[in-house]
Amino acid sequence: MSHRIGIISDTHGLLRSEALAILQGCERIIHAGDVGKPEVLQRLNELAPVTAVRGNNDKGAWAEELPVSASITVGQVAMYLIHDLAELPVDPVAAGIRVVISGHSHKPSIQERHGVLYLNPGSAGPRRFKLPVTVAELIINNAKVEARIVELRV
């Protein structure tokens, strides 16, 4: 059975219709922090169940309800979410984690190291510098994981 997971980060309060269109049909959405405002999560929750972590810019009572990190398992794949990869408190290899998802840098990237996939979906919010506006998706099929970055036309 195949699972399609939408990954978004660094919306900073701006949830674009282009991002919503790509996340449509995902069975779960992961927000890797710097959400910006609770309405972003409410809108994403209308598409699919959301797992979100708190970013360094998420402030206020609503943000305090968000965990700093989270672990989830989809199919046979264990994933770890944290906003800033530099603050990763675990050794993913030793912990049996297959995918580490982070945001913060606004730079989309997919890297595999020691059997662990490191995925940063980039920023789907306000454009910064000359960085692209992006989201990502994970396709999980049993223990196989594929990731891709989708650039939004904005």
Query: HEC profile for 11-61?
Result: CCCCCCHHHHHHHCCCCEEEECCCCCCHHHHHHHHCCCCEEECCCCCCCCH
- Per-residue pLDDT, 49: 98
pLDDT of residue 148: 98
Total-model pTM: 0.97
58 contacts 40 by C-beta, under 8 angstroms: no
Q: Which domain covers residue 106, as residue numbers?
A: 2-151
Residue 128 has pLDDT above 90, yes or no: no
- Average the pLDDT over 84-97 and give the result: 97
3-state SS of the chain: helix, strand, coil percent to 5? 15, 35, 45
CATH number of the domain residue 51 falls in: 3.60.21.10
Output the pLDDT for position 85: 98
Q: Are 52 and 27 in contact (CB under 8 A)?
A: no
Which comes out higher in pLDDT, residue 151 or 128?
151
For residue range 48-77, what is the model confidence (pLDDT) as tens digits?
999 999 999 999 999 999 999 999 999 999
Split into its structural domains, the chain has a count of 1
